[in-house]
Amino acid sequence: MLDINLLRNDPELVKENIRKKFQDHKLPLVDEVIAMDKEYRAAIQQADALRNQINVTSKQIGGLMGKAKKGDAEAAAAAEAAKAQVAQFKADLEGLSKKEDELQAEIRKRMLVIPNIIDPTVPVGKDDSENVEVQRYGEPVVPDFEVPYHVEIMERLSGIDLDSARKTSGNGFYYLMGDIARLHSAVLSYARDFMIDRGFTYVIPPYMIHGDVVTGVMSFAEMENMMYKIEGEDLYLIGTSEHSMIGKFIDTILDEKELPQTLTSYSPCFRKEVGAHGIEERGVYRIHQFEKQEMIVVCKPEDSPMWFDKLWQNTVDFFRSLDIPVRTLECCSGDLADLKVKSIDVEAWSPRQQKYFEVGSCSNLGDAQARRLQIRVKGGENGKQKYFAHTLNNTCVAPPRMLIAFLENNLQADGRVRIPEALRMYMGGKEYIG
């Protein structure tokens, strides 16, 4: 959510940002907010004037009542008239207070859907087809033997049962078994230790959060397409642990000395994954339940660009430590969620498809989440200045999707799967499975 002062002082900047995100249908919201804000501030001034009149008139009533007790009929009549006037002032004040609340709610409703101001370095484009490749890491290899579909590789290793999962839960669910299940857990254990070694504090967060946290960390469009709600409860299943990790700081004032907060969290994740998908996005690519190792940072505004670069580099380094070639992709303006200032996707090489596919996303959200959740920092020259923190998040690894890249890049001609050295201690010392 933007600072209302930005709309008051530079509405054209906000409108130009909306145009860059190709959301022209939201342009009228800016003028609506400005008009409502003027009305809201006028109502506050009127209410203040009424309160002052109530105070002045109430004092006059006291003097008039004193005279009335001494038999002054004129004073008694004036006191009654003043009481009636105060009653009217209070009724008017109540009406203004109601108007203030209504206007404030309408302003907030519109502010929540006006997109955040994107970073000047973000390329302008309509959708993900216009994202820009930044850099490649590792040499993409296409083996001289056929690489089967990832589900087929897992089935050959007796590592997945989709049919039983459809019976118990429906499409988009799975049973992982044997060495594939162990590999899944090994990747997460390695990711946990990898991030701890990089100085992050390990956290296991709540897997359900209240509605005010949901609307604090994401846009309504994302919420509608992603979140599962618990019926009859003000609780949602998290789509990523970023939601509860940022929510951890709701309504807090952090001392500047406590920053940065660098946390890495494990959680299961639950997503609707609305829409139809092709064969390459079936299997365990787009699923309703998966597990993930996430990283989040809460920091001073001037430090967020530096942390952004550190976060996506962590993911690149993690995948390269497992011998998986990756590339980074700068998300264009039209592909950015409304709260994001800047985002980079990390994509892994698929020898089967002979192209890269997304395995993680790193985002700088500026002060958008902090403003919604009231995450403030106390600091500055006198140590008393308060300002909104910046928040960032990034995926370290999200198996089982990551297993697609892992299996394809480590598959051998004889059908076995090589275990990179970094992962062997989590796999009982095995060099191969299969």
Buried b (16+ CB within 10 A) or exposed e, 91-106: eebeebeebbeebeee
Half-sphere exposure of 377 (CA within 13 A, CB side): 21
User: How high is the pLDDT of residue 282?
Assistant: 64
Q: What is the DSSP letter of 240?
A: S
pLDDT along the chain (434 residues), means of 10: 93 97 97 96 92 84 75 76 84 90 94 95 96 97 94 95 93 93 97 98 97 88 82 94 96 96 96 61 80 97 97 98 97 95 97 95 96 94 89 94 95 96 96 94
Burial environment of residue 421 by CB neighbours within 10 A (0 to 12, 13 to 18, 19 or more): exposed
Cis before 260? omega within 30: yes
- What span, in angstroms and rounded, lies between the C-alpha atoms of 343 and 349? 20
User: How high is the pLDDT of residue 14?
Assistant: 97
Domain with 356 in it: what CATH number?
Answer: 3.30.930.10
Residues in the chain: 434
150 and 95 co-located in one domain: no
CA distance from start to end of the chain: 51
- Taking each helix axis from N to C terminus, what angle separates 178-197 and 304-321, rounded to the nearest 10 degrees? 140
85 and 179 co-located in one domain: no
Handedness of CA 141, 146, 149, 151 (dihedral sign): negative
C-beta of residue 332 within 8 angstroms of C-beta of residue 288: no
- What span, in angstroms and rounded, lies between the C-alpha atoms of 388 and 301? 8
User: How high is the pLDDT of residue 276?
Assistant: 45
- What span, in angstroms and rounded, lies between the C-alpha atoms of 328 and 359? 10
Alpha helices in 322-413 (DSSP H): 368-373, 401-410
C-beta of residue 345 within 8 angstroms of C-beta of residue 360: yes
147 and 99 co-located in one domain: no
Residue 88 is part of which domain span?
4-111
User: How high is the pLDDT of residue 61?
Assistant: 79
Is 328 within the bounds of a domain?
Answer: yes
88 and 140 co-located in one domain: no
Give the rounded distance of the alpha carbon of 126 from its chain centre: 21
The domain total for the chain is 2
140 and 107 co-located in one domain: no
User: How high is the pLDDT of residue 235?
Assistant: 95
228 and 283 co-located in one domain: yes
76 and 218 co-located in one domain: no
DSSP string, 91-134: HHHHHHHHHHHHHHHHHHHHHTTSPPPPPTTSPP-SSGGG-EEE
Is 121 within the bounds of a domain?
Answer: no
C-beta of residue 343 within 8 angstroms of C-beta of residue 115: no
User: How high is the pLDDT of residue 370?
Assistant: 97
215 and 85 co-located in one domain: no
